[in-house]
Amino acid sequence: MTTLDISPGDLVWFEYVYSGCSLNQRYAVYIGKKPSKNIRVVNEAFLLLGDTMTTIVDKGVMAFVYPARCAQDLDKYTVV
């Protein structure tokens, strides 16, 4: 597994996460880490383009996030 190299303010692309997920195939601006009350859990904050409120995701969703410069590689991606 590779480490995602993004910084706050970077444009990212959410690949297909799961059926019906509002994050599927959307661009977002990475806001940064969002610690929870449980010190061991660190979530990530994003502002999806077109939205007015941030979206918080856990580390499991981060596997479907790519820097926007890599998004052109996903244009062949289709859900079967």
Return the percentage of the chain with pLDDT > 90, whole number: 35
- Does the pLDDT of residue 70 top 70, yes or no? no
Query: Could you tell me if residue 36 is inside a domain?
Result: yes
pLDDT at 73: 53
> What's the Cα-to-Cα distance from 4 to each of 7, 33, 35, 78, 80, rounded to whole Å?
9, 13, 18, 22, 26
Query: Could you tell me if residue 43 is inside a domain?
Result: yes
Total domains, the chain: 1
pTM for this prediction: 0.75
Query: Could you tell me if residue 6 is inside a domain?
Result: no
d(CA 80, CA 38) in angstroms, rounded, equals: 38
Residue 2 confidence class, pLDDT cut points 50, 70, 90: very low
- Does the pLDDT of residue 29 top 90, yes or no? yes
Query: Could you tell me if residue 27 is inside a domain?
Result: yes
Residue 9, Cβ neighbours under 10 Å: how many? 9
d(CA 73, CA 8) in angstroms, rounded, equals: 22
Query: Could you tell me if residue 32 is inside a domain?
Result: yes
The structure tokens 């996903």 sit at: 74
pLDDT tens string 34-60: 877 766 777 899 999 999 999 999 888
Residues of the domain holding 57: 11-72
Query: Could you tell me if residue 68 is inside a domain?
Result: yes
pLDDT at 37: 74
Query: Could you tell me if residue 80 is inside a domain?
Result: no
Query: Could you tell me if residue 56 is inside a domain?
Result: yes
